[in-house]
Structure 1
Amino acid sequence: MREDHLPSCQQVGTMPVRFRIPYHHPEAVNRIAAELGAHLQPELQSGSSLVLLCLGTDRSTGDALGPLVGSQVEAARTSPYHVYGTLAEPVHAANLPDKLKEIRACHHRPFVLAVDASLGNSESVGYINVGTGPLLPGAGVKKNLPPVGDLHITGVVNVGGFLEYLVLQNTRLNLVMRQAQVIAQALLQAIDHPQSLKLIASV
């Protein structure tokens, strides 16, 4: 597998988690949005640039979570996020260092919210996690990449611990899509753009 096709997915347990909820919980969007808003609203009001860094590749079903989120938030148009990582232009193992340099050079006081897929135990599959501080992209597939993010969101897409590349490539797209929709809606609701929510709900 070429380096630019390598997943960025990480293993659950490699970063602190403040909040977690299954994607199908009826209050998942509202609760994730409230958790995110507590961190993002003050940054927005203080003049920080909100950078949404969505890690992953569209060449692996399980690792497409980040690009799916990035594409949906970018499609909303009215959000204040500067989006890096979409299905059209993914941020992956090969270009992550350059993207981080670009973010530092192009944005005033960037506050980076990182989104990535993760692997965990069977009871955690389907959960969405929110944590403070950086995540470690690539930890789930033994890839050494720089830590990223002031805040992070991860979606547990499958079970880890064995043949991670194969597991990611055989992850159900339906699960990844539904997690991505919840995360995207929560991101937009966190900074309160009702028109964006209507658009994203129809994707």
Structure 2
Amino acid sequence: MGKKAVSRETYRTHCHVSMNEPESAGELAKCLTSHLRERVTDEDIIVVCIGTDRSTGDSLGPLTGSKLLEKRLENFYVYGTLQYPVHAVNLEETLSLIEADHPHAFVIAVDACLGYLQNVGKVTLNEGGVTPGAAMKKKLPIVGDMHINGIVNVSGMMEYFVLQNTRLYTINTMASLIADTFLLVDQSLSKQDILRRGKAAALPVTFHNDDDHIRFLREASSAEQADNKHKKSHHRYRRK
């Protein structure tokens, strides 16, 4: 669908949404949550946001990463922000760090790409890894077990200049959509974890409704969650 970030491997699109539809984040989150529950058990989940803040069209990844940090996610580690982007120069080093710090992790890549005119503004969730910089003839490693692409502009001639002339509005809207998607997934995974641990504990407490049950379990496990939060590094900064 897009050229810039298309992997050399054939991948399958699981879900595609438009950045202008109000229910897009919910639809994308539902699809991503389903796949994570099927494929991830105890592995760390890494989000690698690829791109550079020096090009508007290629800033989708780092802008998304910065928005994700603001969400304070509980179930994801985030690499790549506006301040510390993950790009062609440091991509291999970043992947080596991830492998060292999170062996056997499940990696989701986020990247911008170019595509057909009718697809500009769409965000897709795809199976398999992405090859960043493919349209620029850069030889970079494939990233991710799954990847999210934002189709930011039209592919064709002079793609470097096309990326430079992409609207910031488009990038910001897509980044917000992807960040909102991960927040919804994070909340869903956290709720499932609370319910699972609550059932195992079999607490002898009477609840008037489901909201009371969830609230009690959240408060009862807050100390454990806080301890786990301190043990986790939710993002890795690498200055380049």
Give the TM-score of the pair, scaled to structure 1: 0.85
Native 8 Å contact 2:66 2:81 kept in 1: yes
CA distance in structure 1 between the partners assigned to 2:73 and 2:11 by the alignment: 31
Equivalence for 1:92: 87
**1:121 corresponds to 2:119:** no
Structure possessing the higher radius of gyration over alpha carbons: 2
> What are the residue-to-residue correspondences of 1:25-104 with 2, within 5 Å?
25-42=21-38, 46-104=41-99
Moved more, 17-26 or 61-70: 17-26
CA distance in structure 2 between the partners assigned to 1:169 and 1:49 by the alignment: 34
Structure 1: which 5+ residue stretches go unaligned? Answer: 1-8, 194-203
CA distance in structure 2 between the partners assigned to 1:133 and 1:11 by the alignment: 10
CA distance in structure 2 between the partners assigned to 1:27 and 1:98 by the alignment: 37
CA distance in structure 2 between the partners assigned to 1:64 and 1:153 by the alignment: 14
Native 8 Å contact 2:63 2:81 kept in 1: yes
Native 8 Å contact 1:56 1:66 kept in 2: yes
CA distance in structure 2 between the partners assigned to 1:40 and 1:114 by the alignment: 14
Task: Classify the secondary structure of the residue corresponding to 2:118.
Answer: helix
The total of aligned residue pairs comes to 185
Shift of 1:49: 0.4
> What are the residue-to-residue correspondences of 1:9-28 with 2, within 5 Å?
9-11=4-6, 15-28=11-24
The 1:47–1:11 alpha-carbon spacing in structure 2 relative to 1, beyond 3 Å, is closer
CA distance in structure 1 between the partners assigned to 2:76 and 2:7 by the alignment: 26
Please, what is the CA RMSD of the aligned residues?
1.9
Task: Classify the secondary structure of the residue corresponding to 2:59.
Answer: helix
Equivalence for 2:173: 178
Amino acid across the alignment from 1:72: K
Native 8 Å contact 2:73 2:186 kept in 1: no
- What do the CA deviations read for 1:133-179 (whole angstroms, capped 9, x no partner)? 10111112222211110010000000011101100011000010000
Structure 2: which 5+ residue stretches go unaligned? Answer: 189-240
CA distance in structure 2 between the partners assigned to 1:136 and 1:16 by the alignment: 15
> Structure with the greater relative contact order (CA < 8 A, sep ≥ 6): 1 or 2?
1
Amino acid across the alignment from 2:37: Q
Native 8 Å contact 2:6 2:130 kept in 1: no
Task: Classify the secondary structure of the residue corresponding to 1:53.
Answer: strand
CA distance in structure 1 between the partners assigned to 2:124 and 2:159 by the alignment: 20
- What do the CA deviations read for 1:52-86 (whole angstroms, capped 9, x no partner)? 00000000000000001111111222432111100
Native 8 Å contact 2:15 2:126 kept in 1: yes
CA distance in structure 2 between the partners assigned to 1:138 and 1:72 by the alignment: 23
- What do the CA deviations read for 1:65-109 (whole angstroms, capped 9, x no partner)? 000111111122243211110001000001101111100000142
Equivalence for 1:199: none
CA distance in structure 2 between the partners assigned to 1:52 and 1:186 by the alignment: 12
Runs of 4+ deviating beyond 6 Å: none
Give the TM-score of the pair, scaled to structure 2: 0.73
